[in-house]
Amino acid sequence: MLTAYADTEAAIASINQIGLDYYLMKPWDPPELNLYPVLDDLLSDWAANVTLPYDGIRVAGTLWSSSSHQVKDFLARNQIPYQWLDIDTDAETRALVEALNAGAYRLPVVFFPDGTSLIEPANLELAEKVGLQTQAGKPFYDLIIIGAGPAGLAAAVYGGSEGLQTVMLEKEATGGQAGTSSRIENYLGFPQGLTGVDLARRATSQAQRFGVEILRAIEGVNVRVEDPYRYVLLSDGAELSSHAIIIATGVSVRRLEVPGVSELTGAGVYYGAALTEAAYYRGQDVVVVGGANSAGQGAMFFSRYARMVTMIVRASALELGMSQYLVDQIKATPNIQVILRAEVVEAIGIDRLEALRLCNIDTGEISTLATAAMFVFIGAMPHTEMVADVVERDSSGFLLTGPDLMEKGIRPKGWTLKRDPFFLETSVPGIFAAGDVRHRSVKRVATAVGEGAMAVALVHQYLKTV
């Protein structure tokens, strides 16, 4: 509702009588600054949360199909609405799937409103079908950003807003690992917290408003340098060139290398929060493996649905790896139990996860824990394969930048400029790193956002020198 100066009572009456969500009082001139942006945000929030009669994409599969999980996760994280149809409980859908598969069970099957369908679609095929951008609009840009987590999104917003022709590559969905977080409560300016999906949605919209192209289901597979340009080979075979590159590929959860896990991944074993699966485990027992903030956030989220959430933690105390506010929340949640100084040594099940075998780290005692699902949040593995032969990395694969390249005050081998590397610059001039992918970075959303913004400022400084 838009009201005049003296119409506050009318707004309050509307809130009480018809459930008015928001009112804006004069003055709102100029509307380009004080009205239209507010309306855009309100409509975007409404579209993300409203429930209307459904006539859109439908995904048919089984809860225990890893490929079904991948499709659901891709659609959900890219904020593409869909309806889930479980062929184990829906005979009509099962018959339709059988007819399309000539009696076989290739899953999932994705049905579209235009009457077409895709069977076991790859992310790229699915992205193209639902209308996500997968091809660049031009061959050359001022700035290529690889990765669309908090660091990449911040770089995109600042790059686009400061006039750089910018393209961002993301192999899955914007938001990165933070985008899978069920609740981020310590991000500045959001006292009630916000979900990773909401943060990603807002930042993506902001970047696109500044003209940034975001290519999804596309990743950079190789980087090469031919001064003064930098080139990125894409997973679809295309190649883009630019003046500068920001690598913000982040990290992924490290794989749990114990018997049974790989066979049951997607069938009860999941990496990260897997928010799309939580509701399907309502009233059941689930396990969260890990002791950092991401694991704590996941445990709190799953506690809304599960009968019992069991955290398996190698450390002797939660406080050793987790923020205190999360520790306090976990201790105050009656359906979360924590097993310290323990690790998973085997996943048990045939078609789906049924139990875990645990080992006490101190005594070596083995025990068995029945569970319907295990969500893994262990370690951090950087995505830097595309520059492994181009820039310097540490022993774990994280990118070295700035002062970390200056061993004994000597510039890195092959450095071609008369100045030292900028703080976020790698061993190749014009290639920068931001966020979790960087050596010794602070693994926090706010820090990644700050580094993304800082990287763009350093790109401008770099462009002045070439």
pLDDT, tens digit (0-9, with 9 covering 90-100), for 102-115 = 767 789 999 999 99
∠ CA(22), CA(27), CA(29), 5° rounding? 110
Most distant CA pair in the chain, distance: 73
**Region of poorest pLDDT, from 26-40, 151-165, 180-194, 270-284:** 26-40
Distance, CA of 447 to CA of 435 (rounded, Å): 7
Q: What is the pLDDT of residue 298?
A: 93
Q: How far apart are CA 431 and CA 145, in angstroms?
A: 10
Superfamily name with CATH number, domain 140-252+381-465 = FAD/NAD(P)-binding domain (3.50.50.60)
Averaged pLDDT, 185-193: 89
The 10s digit of each residue's pLDDT in 88-144 is 999 999 999 988 887 677 899 999 999 999 999 999 999 999 999 999 999 999 999
Quick one: what percent of the chain has pLDDT higher than 70? Answer: 98
Exposure letters 143-171 (e unless 16+ CB within 10 A, then b): bbbbbbbbbbbbbbbbbbbeebbbbbbbb
What are the CA-CA distances from residue 348 to residues 46, 106, 267, 309, 351 (Å)?
43, 25, 11, 18, 10
Asked if the model's pLDDT at residue 285 lies above 90, the reply is yes
Domain ranges of the chain: 2-49, 57-130, 140-252+381-465, 261-376
In the three-class reduction of DSSP (H, G, I as helix; E, B as strand; rest coil), residue 373 is classed as: strand
pLDDT value for 22: 76
Mean per-residue pLDDT, 189-206: 93
Residue with tokens 């003046």: 243
Model pLDDT for residues 296-312, shown as the tens digit of each residue: 999 999 999 999 999 99
Residue with tokens 């200056």: 406
Write down the pLDDT at residue 210. Answer: 98
Helices (H), 123-253: 123-130, 150-161, 196-209
Here the tokens at position 229 are 């340009």
Mean pLDDT of 77-95: 93
> Which pLDDT score is estimated for 8?
66
User: What is the band of 63 on the pLDDT scale with cuts at 50, 70, 90?
Assistant: confident
pLDDT digit string, tens, across residues 319-369:
999 999 999 999 999 999 999 999 999 999 998 999 999 999 999 999 999
CATH superfamily for 261-376 is FAD/NAD(P)-binding domain (3.50.50.60)
* Distance separating alpha carbons of residues 217 and 383, to the nearest angstrom: 15
**Identical topology for domains 57-130 and 261-376:** no
Would you state the structure tokens that stand for residue 194, as one six-digit string? 């916000």
Terminal C-alpha separation, the chain: 52
**Among 295, 286, 330, 334, CA closest to 313:** 295
Closest listed residue to residue 22, CA positions, set 184, 194, 40: 40
Predicted pLDDT of residue 370: 98
User: pTM here?
Assistant: 0.84
Q: Which CATH number fits domain 57-130: 3.40.30.10, 3.90.226.10, 3.40.190.10, 3.30.450.20?
A: 3.40.30.10
Residue 448's pLDDT is: 97
Query: pLDDT tens-digit profile of 413-428?
Result: 999 899 999 999 999 9
pLDDT at 32: 81
pLDDT of 154-171, one tens digit each?
999 999 999 999 999 999
Mean pLDDT across the chain, nearest whole number?
93
Contact (CB, 8 A) for 383 and 147: yes
pLDDT per residue as tens digits for the range 365-387: 999 999 999 999 998 899 999 99
Look up residue 263 and give its two tokens. 């066979």
Under 8 Å between Cβ of 433 and 426: yes
Q: Flag whether pLDDT at 5 surpasses 70.
A: no
In the block, tokens 């000597």 appear at: 410
Structure tokens at 169: 């590559």
